[in-house]
Structures are given as structure tokens and as C-alpha cells.
Amino acid sequence: PQRLHSGERPYTCADCGKGFTISSKLIAHQRTHSGERPYSCADCGKAFSDRPHLVRHRSAGRREKRYKPFKCEDCGKLFGRASHLATHRRVHTGERPFKCLQCEKAFTQKAGLVLHVRLHTGERPYKCDKCGKNFRSSAHLVSHQLLESGERNFKCSTCGKAFKQASSLKQHLKTHEVREPH
């Protein structure tokens, strides 16, 4: 709270130099550069960079579906923006325009390349405030923090059971799927 009044911003983004008063704000900001989306909707699986966007999505899902005029001709999936459709099309075309300069690996999105390059450089820009351990991605840091805190933020909308990790919730959701007899 004191930093808010003093203007001190000790947490600085390594990518653009923007400063923040608390580390959690820096972590959220860094996702704008990496494209990481650690918060996912339990109903549809769509992922978001921060919790407020997930909350907004969930409330929007309860209202009418948004206008999505851009349709993929291959699979019928709808998009609100032409750029999102163009990125999605790479799933069908196999195009991987983001190439690693150190190895043969290529990616459909820039965020994938950014994370991959950190394997080569050893860069781990996301630091845990509590234990000092560094992580390659904000998603890994968030996962670590949730495990350390014991919080169970990933809740099943069907039965209410809560999990520490999104992957555990995803696995659990399969138990609610109705399977057709063979």
C-alpha cells in the first residue's frame, strides 16, 4: 500500500521496462508478451491470461453468445475476429511461421516460440515471492504457487469438487461425460 502513494515500482518487466508496485501485477502483465493463458473455463476449456477475463467470460456465457461472424471453412468453428480465425487456420494448414533460430522447432504462435527459446537460454523470469524459485513461464509459477498454498481454485461446475491444478480438473471432468454403449 505504501508504494501506491510513493510511486515506487520495483517490479520491472524485462521485455518492455514497465514498472509495477507488486509482483503479481508484473506476472499478469508479462502474459501480454508471452501469450500465456493459465486460467481456463471449466465449461468450454477456453483459456485466459488472468482471472478477471475468465470471470467476464463465464458471466458472458450465461448471457447470449457473442457475435462471431468469422467461420472456419474446415471445421465450422466461429470467431469474433478475423485475426483469431487466421491463427486458428494454422491448425488445419500445418503452418508454423515462428521458427527457433537454434534448432529445427517451429510454432503456430509466437508465445510457443518465446517459451521454447527459454529452454535454450535457461531464462526463468518468473520468481516465486515466497521461496525464491524461478520458473520459465508464468503458468508454471502460478501452478507452483497454487500447489504451495494448498488453494483449490479449479472447481467442477457439475459436482463442486475443487482441484489445485487445471489439469486435474480437466481429468476429473471426464468422469461426468456420458459414454454411449458400444
Domains in the chain and their CATH numbers? 10-61 (3.30.160.60), 68-120 (3.30.160.60)
At 97 the pLDDT is 94
Q: Is the pLDDT of residue 71 over 70?
A: yes
Cβ neighbors of 28 (< 8 A, separation 6 or more) are 49, 50, 138
Q: Is the pLDDT of residue 87 over 60?
A: yes
Most confident of 29-38, 125-134, 164-173: 125-134
Q: Is the pLDDT of residue 51 over 90?
A: no
At 30 the pLDDT is 82
153 versus 101: the higher-pLDDT residue is 101
At 137 the pLDDT is 84
pLDDT confidence bin for 65, thresholds 50/70/90: low
In this structure, what is the dihedral angle of CA atoms 117, 121, 125, 126, given to the nearest 10 degrees? 70
Q: Is the pLDDT of residue 37 over 70?
A: yes
SS3 content of the chain, % helix, strand, coil (to 5): 40, 15, 45
At 43 the pLDDT is 67
pTM of the model: 0.49
Picking from 13-17, 21-25, 43-47, 62-66, which range would have the lowest pLDDT averaged per residue?
62-66
SS3 1: coil
Report the chain's terminal Cα–Cα distance, integer Å.
61
**Grid cell in block for residue 87:** 491463427
At 172 the pLDDT is 85
At 64 the pLDDT is 47
pLDDT confidence bin for 62, thresholds 50/70/90: low
